[in-house]
Amino acid sequence: MADILSKGSLFPEELIPDFIKKTTGASALAKLCSATPIPFNGVKEFTFSLDKEVDIVAENGAKTKGGLTVDPITIVPIKIEYGARISDEFLYASEDAQLDYMSAFADGFAKKVAKGLDLMAFHGVNPRTGTASSVIGTNHFDSKVTQAVTIASGDKPDENIEAAIALVQGADRDVTGMVLAPAFKSALAKQTTADGAKLYPQLAWGANPGEVNGLRVESTSNLSSGSSLDRALVGDFVNCFKWGYAKEIPIEVIRYGNPDNDTQLGDLKGHNQVYLRGEAYIGWGILDPSAFAHIKTGE
């Protein structure tokens, strides 16, 4: 077992769905849009739309031009990684103990990947540093989505939502889901009727019911992370956002060197340590920015 691990190993294919299931549990985007396989060299998606409506043609009448628009969007997975040092006692533990270590690390890595997907796709930042990533560039909602409702003093949250939905529907697009920042969800939960009854009791006490008024709804602090003004995002997550993994997810056990480039921690062997590193290749694409609208605070 140790010999295999020391060379690095890949999760067996049958474990990938479980990894994605764990990832889905902590990502609002992954819950609103199912993952699709993405090859290492990327995949090209086409948005195909007919520009006009059908035309009535009279008997012996001339037909007129309809037209269509095809826009290609290439989704290329980017590499993300997470590593941690542990005692080299790991190498001499029983096979069951080693599997426990690996399972715990894989579970934690899946959660970090999930949060990372949200932060990268919402804001275009490197999750570790919180700063804009040149690798991501403009491939994120904050850059692509221009439709927005700004929260004004005295606004009711549900009216902001209706206004954002109207923007999407005004662009002749559907709304399949909504992401709420915790503060905005709390404001919705506080709304009451004239007689004091809660309008959205399913949101009370921090609950995340998954659906409100028949619309898929997820809440996450990832949307309002850092200095972001985003408080909600509505749109067609089912048809106009795609994400996925490249097939293999490597988990490597490194025995030697300084794999995290930390000069203070030094060489692994010199400190009786080994290094666990997980890597994933994950990609996403916003196929139609007009299918989404933000709700933003004016602060």
**Backbone angles phi and psi of 228, in degrees to 5:** -60, 140
Give the sheet arrangement for strand 230-235, strand by strand.
148-151, 292-297, 230-235, 177-180, 215-219, 211-212
Q: For the chain, give every domain's residue range.
A: 2-47+86-297
CA 178 to chain centre: 13
> What per-residue confidence (pLDDT) applies to 3?
31
Task: Encode the chain (299 residues) as per-residue pLDDT tens digits.
Answer: 333 333 344 455 555 666 666 666 578 999 999 887 776 666 666 555 566 777 777 777 776 776 655 566 778 889 999 888 888 887 877 777 777 777 788 888 888 888 999 999 999 999 999 999 999 999 999 999 999 999 999 899 999 999 999 999 999 999 999 999 999 999 999 998 888 888 888 888 888 888 899 999 999 999 999 899 999 999 999 999 999 887 666 778 888 888 888 877 888 888 888 888 888 889 999 999 999 999 999 86
The model's pLDDT over 260-289, given as tens digits with 9 standing for 90+, comes to: 888 778 888 888 888 888 888 899 999 999
From residue 80, alpha-carbon distances to 126, 143, 221 in Å are 9, 21, 21
CB of 150 within 8 A of CB of 298? Answer: yes
> What per-residue confidence (pLDDT) applies to 90?
78
> What per-residue confidence (pLDDT) applies to 7?
32
Q: Which fold has domain 2-47+86-297?
A: hypothetical protein PF0899 fold (3.30.2320)
The pTM for the full model equals 0.83
Round to whole Å and give the CA distance between 107 and 23: 9
Of 96, 73, 68, nearest to 1 by C-alpha is: 96
